[in-house]
């Protein structure tokens, strides 16, 4: 079933696993966009913008109703008690606020649970930042959408000019006063039809499988074996986990750098790779330098890469990505050779028949009780690092009159030591690394290695350089090294 906007009313199996994980700090899957604005937006105008967006995008007004007895799938319903003032907040840091303070606020938010009895998002305006600037922290559950889907869903909060004409008022979504008991009864009443449909589907599928086996047993068995081998290649890595990155805790930190999109594109072209290849190779270079500086050089470590599977016809909500594993080539010092190595591995992984295996196993995992689910999922996570790439809008964007001069993506830490996210926006690239501080203990060293790892890749394309994340609008002429707090002065 889908709603009027084309979004599915029922949670998919994988989305529900992410939703269940919100209660546990070790499995929490919140994602966040940190938007730096060139001026403080008008509060009433900001509220009006989110009010408009919540009417256009139902997910911003919907909560999840879970049946008290599992006779039906959990469902998205329009919250009859929706309160915009709960979701849109404002805080002030002591002036002049820095980017480090913004990231620290973001960390507290990401490490805190979202209220699962309400729509699963918040937006926090941060005031008091140096030079009269501001930040907006958009925090949402991964159960709502993946990174690419979130870009589509939150499009309604952006303007493409500072003072656009008034928007056409949107109608208020009709609330749905549905309880878990009512959903369970509804599912129970449909149970005979559901069971009959499941039996018919199972028999039909079994008949088709038996028919294929009888008609060509060698090919059928060979196909099953081939898929099993493919799933192993997709989900596992031959690289051993790093001895430096093994510990896990509940404390994390974010470090970020900026660069021109044209510079990383030129570097990628010079090495005959894509921007994503150059980005992954630069992360590998940073990790290589970090391990060398601490006297623990390694040749490779397991790295997880989300691959977008979303088609144009797919709705914005939900998760449509696959996770693949590569052996991150830390032993390769030449950045061009590192890009080639990453590209070769990624091309092979994208062509794997079992690339979407997560969707296949999610219904089975969803049947497990929470403690067992956490244990099984934890055993499946074999990566030290994950790295994601989310393209944004190519032109300038505005929120309530404030121009977005930087945008940073902060991802979850699903059992990994580090999550890296690249955001491309308006000709700029920003890279964040959010890491577990029990694994990455040398904050200043990692900030220097991150910068150096990207600059050795950017050097392939010419004179471009990455710089520590700042509030300034231009990165082309800056060459400052990371300061003690990981941010350059404004």
CATH fit for domain 13-184, picks 1.20.1250.20, 3.40.50.300, 2.60.40.10, 3.30.559.10: 3.30.559.10
The CA distances from residue 441 to 25, 245, 254, 282, in Å, are 20, 9, 12, 20
pLDDT at 108: 93
- 187 falls in which pLDDT band (50, 70, 90)? confident
Q: Which is more confident, 158 or 295? A: 295
**Contact indicator for 254, 109 with CB cutoff of 8 Å:** no
**Contact indicator for 177, 84 with CB cutoff of 8 Å:** no
- Please state which of the ranges 344-348, 422-426, 481-485 shows the lowest mean pLDDT: 481-485
Q: Is 278 left (phi over 0), alpha (psi -120 to 50) or beta?
A: alpha
Nearest to 107 by CA among 256, 242, 323, 286: 256
pLDDT at 440: 97
pLDDT at 353: 60
**Contact indicator for 448, 481 with CB cutoff of 8 Å:** yes
Active site residue 291: no
Largest CA distance in the chain: 75
Q: Which is more confident, 435 or 484? A: 435
pLDDT at 242: 96
The CA distances from residue 49 to 46, 80, 156, 399, in Å, are 5, 20, 8, 8
**Contact indicator for 276, 345 with CB cutoff of 8 Å:** no
- 448 falls in which pLDDT band (50, 70, 90)? very high
- 25 falls in which pLDDT band (50, 70, 90)? confident
Q: Which of 19, 87, 139, 142 is catalytic?
A: 142
Nearest to 37 by CA among 365, 407, 402: 402
Q: What is the pLDDT of residues 199-240, one digit of tens each?
A: 444 445 445 545 554 665 555 445 444 544 555 555 566 889
For the chain, what are the domain ranges? 13-184
Q: Which is more confident, 8 or 417? A: 417
**Euclidean distance between CA atoms 303 and 375, whole angstroms:** 21
Mean model confidence pLDDT for the chain:
82
**Contact indicator for 426, 397 with CB cutoff of 8 Å:** yes
Residue 28 makes CB contacts below 8 A (sequence gap 6+) with 21, 22, 110, 111, 113, 412
**Contact indicator for 16, 74 with CB cutoff of 8 Å:** yes
Strands of the 467-468 sheet, one edge to the other? 321-328, 301-308, 385-391, 418-425, 428-436, 252-260, 467-468
- Please state which of the ranges 12-21, 131-140, 231-240 shows the lowest mean pLDDT: 231-240
Mean pLDDT of 280-297: 97
- 402 falls in which pLDDT band (50, 70, 90)? very high
pLDDT at 196: 46
């Amino acid at each position: 079933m889908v709603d009027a906007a084309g979004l599915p009313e029922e949670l998919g199996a994988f989305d529900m696993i992410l939703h269940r994980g919100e209660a546990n700090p070790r499995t929490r899957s919140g994602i966040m966009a940190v938007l730096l604005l060139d001026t403080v937006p008008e509060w009433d105008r900001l509220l009006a913008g989110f009010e408009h967006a919540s009417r256009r995008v139902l997910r911003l007004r919907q909560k999840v109703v879970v049946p008290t007895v599992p006779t039906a799938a959990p469902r998205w319903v329009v919250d009859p008690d929706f309160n915009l003032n709960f979701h849109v907040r404002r805080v002030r840091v002591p002036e002049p606020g820095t980017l480090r303070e913004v990231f620290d606020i973001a960390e507290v938010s990401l490490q805190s649970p979202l209220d699962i009895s309400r729509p699963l998002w918040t937006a926090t305006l941060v005031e008091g930042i140096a030079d009269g600037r501001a930040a907006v922290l958009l925090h949402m559950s991964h159960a709502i959408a993946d990174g690419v889907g979130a870009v589509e869903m939150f499009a309604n909060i952006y303007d493409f000019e500072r003072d656009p004409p008034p928007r056409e008022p949107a109608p208020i979504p009709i609330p749905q006063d549905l309880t878990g008991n009512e959903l369970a009864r509804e599912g129970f009443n449909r149970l005979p039809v559901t069971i009959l449909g499941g039996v018919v589907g199972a028999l039909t599928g079994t008949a088709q499988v038996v028919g294929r086996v009888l008609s060509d047993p060698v090919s059928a068995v060979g196909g099953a074996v081939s898929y099993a081998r493919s799933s192993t290649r997709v989900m596992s890595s031959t690289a051993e986990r790093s001895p430096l990155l093994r510990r896990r805790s509940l404390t994390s930190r974010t470090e970020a750098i900026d660069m021109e999109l044209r510079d990383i594109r030129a570097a990628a072209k010079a090495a005959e790779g894509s921007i994503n290849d150059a980005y992954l190779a630069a992360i590998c270079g940073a990790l290589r330098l970090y391990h060398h500086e601490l006297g623990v050089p390694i040749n490779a470590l397991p790295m997880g890469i989300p691959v977008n599977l979303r088609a144009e016809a797919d709705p914005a909500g939900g998760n449509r990505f696959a996770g693949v594993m590569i052996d991150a080539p830390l032993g390769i010092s030449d950045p061009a050779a590192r890009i080639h190595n990453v590209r070769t591995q990624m091309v092979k992984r994208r062509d794997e028949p079992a690339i979407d295996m997560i969707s296949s196993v999610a219904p089975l995992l969803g049947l497990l009780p929470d403690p067992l689910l956490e244990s099984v999922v934890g055993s499946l996570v074999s990566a030290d690092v994950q790295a994601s790439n989310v393209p944004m809008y190519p032109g300038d964007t505005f929120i309530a009159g404030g121009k977005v001069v930087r945008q940073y993506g902060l991802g979850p830490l699903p059992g990994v030591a580090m999550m890296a996210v690249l955001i491309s926006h308006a000709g700029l690239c920003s890279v964040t690394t959010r890491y577990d501080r029990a694994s990455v203990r040398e904050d200043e060293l990692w900030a220097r290695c991150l910068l150096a790892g990207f600059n050795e890749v950017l050097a392939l394309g010419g004179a471009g350089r990455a710089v520590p994340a700042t509030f300034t609008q231009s990165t082309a002429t800056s060459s400052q090294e990371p300061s003690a707090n990981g941010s350059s002065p404004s």
